[in-house]
């Protein structure tokens, strides 16, 4: 097997390189060898650095995927989308050197949701669902702690959830309910 098969060069380049090496003195060869050795060390350290960086990035990706998996676990808190709008504040209102709210500086979509626990919440960051597929009145599953939207739920998701939603305040008064005077009095005292 010849050297061109191993190194992939052709015979002409090999002859030129051999002629150059034969013309060099022993000290020139030592210098050239040390230069090549130092270049090999630099390249090896670069390879090691890139491997370490790749490993750390893979660990970050793995950690983030685990966080997403944990946050997507049920039970969700069910919420209704009340309003979607663009969060584009004018930059003219900014004062130089003033401490600003990070949420107010964000660009993009934000929304207001109403949860099944009767809370109305503003979300400057929507979550894992694309804002383009959401519209007011949609049923969404949100994280119970951060209220980030994790899933868009189908309209027929759960009839019990629909039954528990308070869409508007009841119009009935205590006077409209007959025969429950003792229970009404207990309720008034409890409130």
pLDDT digits (tens, 9 = 90+) for 106-165: 567 889 999 888 889 999 988 888 888 998 888 888 888 888 888 888 876 555 555 666
177 domain residue, yes or no = no
What's residue 102's pLDDT? 55
189 domain residue, yes or no = no
Query: In which domain, by residue range, is 43 found?
Result: 10-71
Contact yes or no for 119/141 (Cβ under 8 A): no
Average pLDDT score over residue span 83-95 = 65
Give 82's contacts (C-beta < 8 A, 6+ positions apart).
Answer: 111, 112, 113, 114, 120, 136
User: Are residues 110 and 63 part of one domain?
Assistant: no
Q: Angle at the Cα of 69 (from 64 to 74), degrees rounded to 5?
A: 145
More confident site: 24 or 51: 51
What's residue 70's pLDDT? 75
The neighbour count for residue 12, using CB atoms within 10 Å, is 9
Average pLDDT score over residue span 76-103 = 67
Q: Is 100 exposed, middle or buried (0-12, 13-18, 19+ CB in 10 A)?
A: exposed
Burial profile 152-170: b = 16 or more Cβ within 10 angstroms, e = fewer: bbeeebeeeeeeeeeeeee
User: Are residues 65 and 113 part of one domain?
Assistant: no
Is it true that the peptide bond before 123 is cis, omega within 30 degrees of 0?
A: no
User: Are residues 124 and 87 part of one domain?
Assistant: yes
User: Are residues 148 and 86 part of one domain?
Assistant: yes
Contact yes or no for 164/132 (Cβ under 8 A): no
What's residue 67's pLDDT? 83
- Which of 59-73, 77-91, 136-150, 159-173 is the least confident region? 159-173
The neighbour count for residue 94, using CB atoms within 10 Å, is 12
The domain total for the chain is 2
2 has pLDDT over 60: no
32-42 tens-digit pLDDT: 899 999 999 99
What's residue 170's pLDDT? 72
Q: What CATH number did the domain enclosing 113 receive?
A: 2.40.50.140
What's residue 148's pLDDT? 87
More confident site: 97 or 108: 108
Average pLDDT score over residue span 58-79 = 83
More confident site: 183 or 134: 134
pTM of the model: 0.45
131 domain residue, yes or no = yes
**Using CA atoms in the order 88, 136, 155, 129, what is the torsion angle rounded to 10 degrees?**
0
Contact yes or no for 124/106 (Cβ under 8 A): yes
What does the radius of gyration of the chain's CA atoms come to, in whole angstroms?
Answer: 35
Q: What is the DSSP letter of 92?
A: G
């Amino acid at each position: 097997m010849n050297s061109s098969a191993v190194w992939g060069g052709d015979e002409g380049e090999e002859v030129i390189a051999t002629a150059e090496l034969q013309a060099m003195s022993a000290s020139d060869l030592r210098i050239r060898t040390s230069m090549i050795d130092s270049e090999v060390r630099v390249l090896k350290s670069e390879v090691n650095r890139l491997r370490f960086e790749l490993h750390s990035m893979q660990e970050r990706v793995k950690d983030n995927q685990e966080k997403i998996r944990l946050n997507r676990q049920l039970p969700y808190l069910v919420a209704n989308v009340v309003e979607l709008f663009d969060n584009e504040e004018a930059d003219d209102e900014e004062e130089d050197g003033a401490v600003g709210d990070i949420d107010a500086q964000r660009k993009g979509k934000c929304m207001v949701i109403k949860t099944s626990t009767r809370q109305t919440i503003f979300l400057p960051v929507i979550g894992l669902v694309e804002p383009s597929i959401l519209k007011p009145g949609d049923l969404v599953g949100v994280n119970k702690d951060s209220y980030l939207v994790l899933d868009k739920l189908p309209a027929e998701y759960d009839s019990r959830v629909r039954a528990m939603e308070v869409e508007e305040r009841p119009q009935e008064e205590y006077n409209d309910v007959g025969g429950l005077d003792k229970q009404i009095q207990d309720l008034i005292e409890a409130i």
